[in-house]
Structure 1
Amino acid sequence: MESSASVRTEQFVCGLRETVVSTGQVFTTQWHEFILSEDYNKMTSAKNYPAHQNRVTMVQFILEMEWVLSTGQDKNFTWHCTESGRRLGSHRTSAWALCLQFDIQTRHAFVGDYSGQVTILKLDPDNCSVVTSFKGHSGGITALYWDPVRRTLFSGSSDHSIIMWDIGGRKGTAIELQGHNDKVQSLCYAHHTRQLISCGADGGIVVWNMDVKRQETPDWLDSDSCQKCDQPFFWNFKQMWDSKKIGLRQHHCRKCGKALCGKCSSKRSSIPLMGFEFEVRVCDSCYESITDEDRAPTATFHDSKHNVVRMHFDVTRGWLLTSGNDRVIKLWDMTPVVS
């Protein structure tokens, strides 16, 4: 959870051992292990782990392996053995490491950083190797969620977008989701209904239907002139001189990706199957091809009335727990929308 003093604390109750792992106070460079009493009313400090040289951003406990993974603003991802307290290894990222996920079966760690890059690491008891890295966000990675069943990774970013990376199936496929007006803070997934839940700094809770055939957003094309009317853009000095015309500003159609002037892309439309739940700029020809059925929303929007920084979804009861910068914890019954 995160308080108004911007303290990020991750707590994980390790059921069999009855311990809690926490990142501690403001700008802490270590995380702590506590022993919980049987009635859960008292915590006794057990170990301190000096894992980082700058603020710890996330901690994840893997009960099956007795590992604790952590990321920090020292650009390091580390993992420790909780039985011995020994540091097993670390990996240095290109920017602040902000969030992580872990696949128990394959021992792959997914680390998101401030530059917008996600790095996949293969972990062994004493070392790690880089499998690959990919980048699709223009802002830092603020949230990750790994679905081990469908081998899909969801990443949320400060650029207000979510990307679904199909790692296990169609490798390289990236589906973009646009439904927040501020940075995405937390993600969770309902496997039984194939619905993604996202929370953001805009106070919005968005429930995405992922059981539809979605389309990849096209790459934006490069051109020195409008690809519809051939009017030069303002940096194309030669064509402006030859045609005696003033250069125009460049825009892009979100459906086809063509580079266009403002006149040829004056229409706006939602394209939910491409992830655009809000209206975006499209060219005139693409606007005519979009039907009312294509505009049918694939997500529902709910106002949490606070800046959500962390959430947890209980699949068995359909309850969603959110915490915000206002120091308020809210419990939501999501069964009417996640079912």
Structure 2
Amino acid sequence: MAAEIQPKPLTRKPILLQRVEGSQEVVNMAVIVPKEEGVISVSEDRTVRVWLKRDSGQYWPSIYHLMPSPCSCMSFNPETRRLSIGLDNGTISEFILSEDYNKMTPVKNYQAHQSRVTMILFVLELEWVLSTGQDKQFAWHCSESGQRLGGYRTSAVASGLQFDVETRHVFIGDHSGQVTILKLEQENCTLITTFRGHTGGVTALCWDPVQRVLFSGSSDHSVIMWDIGGRKGTAIELQGHNDKVQALSYAQHTRQLISCGGDGGIVVWNMDVERQETPEWLDSDSCQKCDQPFFWNFKQMWDSKKIGLRQHHCRKCGKAVCGKCSSKRSSIPLMGFEFEVRVCDSCHEAITDEERAPTATFHDSKHNIVHVHFDATRGWLLTSGTDKVIKLWDMTPVVS
């Protein structure tokens, strides 16, 4: 069921502690059980499993429960051991786990959505269950009475959901690339704002209530840090994946962001550095360095008897430039470009070696990640992949 991996001597990379195998389909969500060597997983194969580490060093299910429909998402509250499971048929099923994690008792079902539940959050402080579904509805229910308190229709199917208890603001990221902020009251909600920065759909959200910063991951391979608390509209881009960003987690104590993608990459970003916004791309009919016309500028092409050139943009200054004036490449980590990107020749000369120093570390999980959970107390990271395998990593070498 699960093979124990003997870690190699410490190097500056995540250490694979365990592979947990046995699911027939993809594990859509899983969490590390606090203070226990255990994992709770929900899968497309309709199973809810609680895996506990045995004396043999292997993880075996102490609970194996079959649901009436594929399990799409879950939310686990360690204080109350309340497990909320979202199903493909739109139902949310709630259970309480026993103290020894060997038994789960059904509590109630919510008929929350018309189709697949995409995200769930249980808010203990308010006794609310927040959820989004493929029916493009955001809903919140009272967890004590089971009553639906309210709802809001999103512009597209939501795939990211975060909540700030202090302000009662909910953040919803959807497939259109939009992030919506609502303020929730007991039975109604107010639209605060919407913002958009991704060219693809939002695939993951992560909220830091201390710095009041929201991170969004997208199918456009990028992560954006939105400074909500600063009220200046600052948005910092982070480019470090070669495929869609699937999951985000924030290590508050070290101010490091962990982003994981369909490319199998685990990227650890240092968010304790002074980062810069990427400039807006400027529009021009001719190269802003050598004044050569671009190919649509027929008048200048005719007047100067020159062939029109293709337009490019310098990622550092945002100027519209031709290929000849932007022949160099450079990484610009403080602008979020950890890989080499196009820059104009003058910016290339101005970038120092110090400015090229990486602000992120890159690691290969060797499976296409669909979900992550970070246990900050132990520094453990759980990754679940399209290969139906759960992996447990010791992140202390890189998150510290």
Structure 1 position 40, deviation (Å): 2.0
Given candidates 212, 220, 227, the residue that maps to 1:166 is: 227
Computed over aligned residues only, the root mean square deviation of the Cα atoms, in angstroms, reads 1.7
Distance 1:170 1:131, change over 3 A: closer
Q: Which amino acid aligns with 1:13?
A: F
Map of 1:282 onto structure 2: 343
Distance, in Å, in 2 between the alignment partners of 1:285 and 1:37 is 65
Map of 1:12 onto structure 2: 75
Contact 2:71 2:85 (8 Å CA) reproduced: no
- Tell me the matched-pair count: 337
Map of 1:330 onto structure 2: 391
Structure 1 position 214, deviation (Å): 0.7
Distance 1:274 1:5, change over 3 A: farther
Structure 1 position 16, deviation (Å): 4.4
Q: Which amino acid aligns with 2:172?
A: V
Q: Which amino acid aligns with 2:362?
A: F
Distance, in Å, in 1 between the alignment partners of 2:270 and 2:91 is 38
Distance, in Å, in 1 between the alignment partners of 2:99 and 2:176 is 43
Distance 1:8 1:166, change over 3 A: farther
Map of 2:98 onto structure 1: 37
Structure 1 position 240, deviation (Å): 2.0
Q: Determine helix, strand or coil for the equivalent of 1:115.
A: coil
The correspondence of residues 201-280 of structure 1 with structure 2, limited to 5 A, is 201-280=262-341
Q: Which amino acid aligns with 2:297?
A: N
The correspondence of residues 38-57 of structure 1 with structure 2, limited to 5 A, is 38-57=99-118
Question: Does 54-63 or 292-301 show the bigger shift?
Answer: 54-63
Contact 1:4 1:326 (8 Å CA) reproduced: no
Distance, in Å, in 2 between the alignment partners of 1:99 and 1:18 is 23
Identical amino acids, percent of aligned pairs: 76
Distance, in Å, in 2 between the alignment partners of 1:123 and 1:189 is 24
Distance, in Å, in 2 between the alignment partners of 1:241 and 1:76 is 56
Contact 1:176 1:274 (8 Å CA) reproduced: yes
Contact 1:8 1:57 (8 Å CA) reproduced: no
Q: Could you report, residue by residue, the CA deviation over 1:82-129 in whole angstroms, capped at 9, with x for unpaired residues?
A: 111111111111111111100001100000011111111000010000
Structure 1 position 241, deviation (Å): 2.3
Map of 1:79 onto structure 2: 140
Superposition misfits of 4+ residues, deviation over 4 angstroms: 3-8
Distance, in Å, in 2 between the alignment partners of 1:83 and 1:211 is 40
Distance, in Å, in 2 between the alignment partners of 1:80 and 1:125 is 10
Distance 1:8 1:113, change over 3 A: farther
Q: Determine helix, strand or coil for the equivalent of 2:72.
A: coil
Distance, in Å, in 1 between the alignment partners of 2:231 and 2:144 is 39
Contact 2:74 2:119 (8 Å CA) reproduced: no
Structure 1 position 60, deviation (Å): 0.8
Where structure 1 has 5 or more consecutive residues not aligned to the other structure, the ranges are none
The correspondence of residues 19-34 of structure 1 with structure 2, limited to 5 A, is 19-24=82-87, 27-34=88-95
Contact 2:129 2:140 (8 Å CA) reproduced: yes
Where structure 2 has 5 or more consecutive residues not aligned to the other structure, the ranges are 1-26, 29-42, 47-69
The correspondence of residues 57-72 of structure 1 with structure 2, limited to 5 A, is 57-72=118-133
Distance, in Å, in 2 between the alignment partners of 1:171 and 1:74 is 34
Map of 1:121 onto structure 2: 182
Distance, in Å, in 2 between the alignment partners of 1:172 and 1:213 is 16
TM-score of the two chains, using structure 1 as the length reference: 0.95
Q: Could you report, residue by residue, the CA deviation over 1:35-70 in whole angstroms, capped at 9, with x for unpaired residues?
A: 323432233433222212232211111111111111
Contact 1:4 1:327 (8 Å CA) reproduced: no
Given candidates 276, 291, 303, the residue that maps to 2:364 is: 303
Q: Determine helix, strand or coil for the equivalent of 1:239.
A: helix
Q: Which amino acid aligns with 1:137?
A: H
Contact 2:326 2:342 (8 Å CA) reproduced: yes
Q: Determine helix, strand or coil for the equivalent of 1:64.
A: coil
Distance, in Å, in 2 between the alignment partners of 1:161 and 1:98 is 15
Q: Determine helix, strand or coil for the equivalent of 2:325.
A: helix
Q: Determine helix, strand or coil for the equivalent of 2:73.
A: coil
Distance, in Å, in 1 between the alignment partners of 2:352 and 2:368 is 35
The correspondence of residues 87-236 of structure 1 with structure 2, limited to 5 A, is 87-236=148-297
Q: Determine helix, strand or coil for the equivalent of 2:349.
A: helix
Distance, in Å, in 2 between the alignment partners of 1:303 and 1:14 is 30
Q: Could you report, residue by residue, the CA deviation over 1:163-183 in whole angstroms, capped at 9, with x for unpaired residues?
A: 111111252011110001011
Q: Could you report, residue by residue, the CA deviation over 1:198-242 in whole angstroms, capped at 9, with x for unpaired residues?
A: 111100001111111111100001111111111111222222222
Structure 1 position 244, deviation (Å): 2.4
Structure 1 position 337, deviation (Å): 1.0
Distance, in Å, in 1 between the alignment partners of 2:299 and 2:135 is 48
